[in-house]
Amino acid sequence: MKERLLLLYKLNRIDKELHELFSLRGDIPAKIDDLNSEKNVLDERAGEIKAEQETIINQEKSVASENDVLLEKMEKNDELLRTGAVKSNKEYDALAKEIEDAKSKIKANEKALKEDNSSRKSEIENELLLIQVQLDEINAELEQNETELKELTKQTGEEEKELTSDREDILKKIDKSDFEYYERISKVRFGEAIAVVRKGSCLGCYSSIPPQKAIEIRMAEKFYSCESCGRILIAEELLTA
Ligand SMILES: [Zn+2]
């Protein structure tokens, strides 16, 4: 039992050191996450309006090619009228009407091309520019944070690797149920799952422990937890033994 308790104690020491290493990195990893999600939002918006821009351009192209067809037909009809190839009045009127219709259709198309889309197109262009400016800023900030994180990780990486491998070795020796017990307390005590008992006090919360219980904790025949803070207790004598 003492051995099981000591293993949890060692695990806690490693976890605390790892936690300290991570806290050195401060809020940089969270900052990087934030920047990346801002970037995603902007990328998505840019994609949306680029698609809209493309739709407008395609529409304009198809209107323009419709105009070309109309223009060609109009010229042909014009030619027929001028060369006097048309025999009857009825035929003449029909052709003249076709020409008029084509003219007004072309006019309407041209007007639509100019008026309906130009303001939307420049809105899109402006927004895309604005997005690009924001993206440039975010990318610069991202790069700076990533460099900082890389630097910090380089400094602490070796230590982290050692601690992580020590942790894995210890975990292999710890009972699954002991580890679950440890994890439960670690979670609510922010990584401080184990407290040393020194001279009848819990060093986790400094509350005193009844003498009889202190003796039992020294015997370590089972796990004891502090009645006021809930940490798993280990007698200091066990650490020096
Ligand atoms: Zn306590």
Q: What pLDDT digit, counting tens, does each position of 121-175 carry?
A: 899 999 999 999 999 999 999 999 999 999 888 888 889 999 999 999 999 999 9
Q: What values do phi and psi take at 142, rounded to 5? A: -60, -45
Over residues 22-58, the pLDDT tens digits come to 888 888 999 999 999 999 999 999 999 999 999 988 9
Q: Are residues 40 and 98 in the same domain?
A: yes
Long-range contacts of 61-70 (CB under 8 A, 24+ apart): 63/109, 63/112, 63/113, 64/109, 64/113, 66/105, 66/109, 67/106, 67/109, 67/110, 70/102, 70/105, 70/106, 70/109
Residue 19 falls inside a structural domain: no
Cα distance between residue 202 and residue 231, in whole Å:
9
Cα angle 239, 12, 194 (rounded to 5 degrees) comes to: 70
Selected residue with higher pLDDT from 85 and 181? 181
Q: Are residues 159 and 199 in the same domain?
A: no
Q: Are residues 158 and 184 in the same domain?
A: no
Q: Are residues 156 and 199 in the same domain?
A: no
Residue 10 falls inside a structural domain: no
- Give the distance (Å) from ligand 1 centre to CA of residue 196: 9
pLDDT above 80 for 115: no
Q: Are residues 165 and 182 in the same domain?
A: no
- Give the distance (Å) from ligand 1 centre to CA of residue 241: 22
- Give the distance (Å) from ligand 1 centre to CA of residue 188: 13
- Give the distance (Å) from ligand 1 centre to CA of residue 136: 51
* pLDDT, mean of residues 220-238: 95
- Give the distance (Å) from ligand 1 centre to CA of residue 217: 13
Note down the domain range covering 56: 25-174
- Give the distance (Å) from ligand 1 centre to CA of residue 160: 29
pLDDT above 90 for 208: yes
- Give the distance (Å) from ligand 1 centre to CA of residue 165: 30
- Give the distance (Å) from ligand 1 centre to CA of residue 212: 16
Q: Are residues 157 and 225 in the same domain?
A: no
Q: Are residues 217 and 115 in the same domain?
A: no
Q: What is the pLDDT of residue 85?
A: 78
Q: What is the pLDDT of residue 108?
A: 86
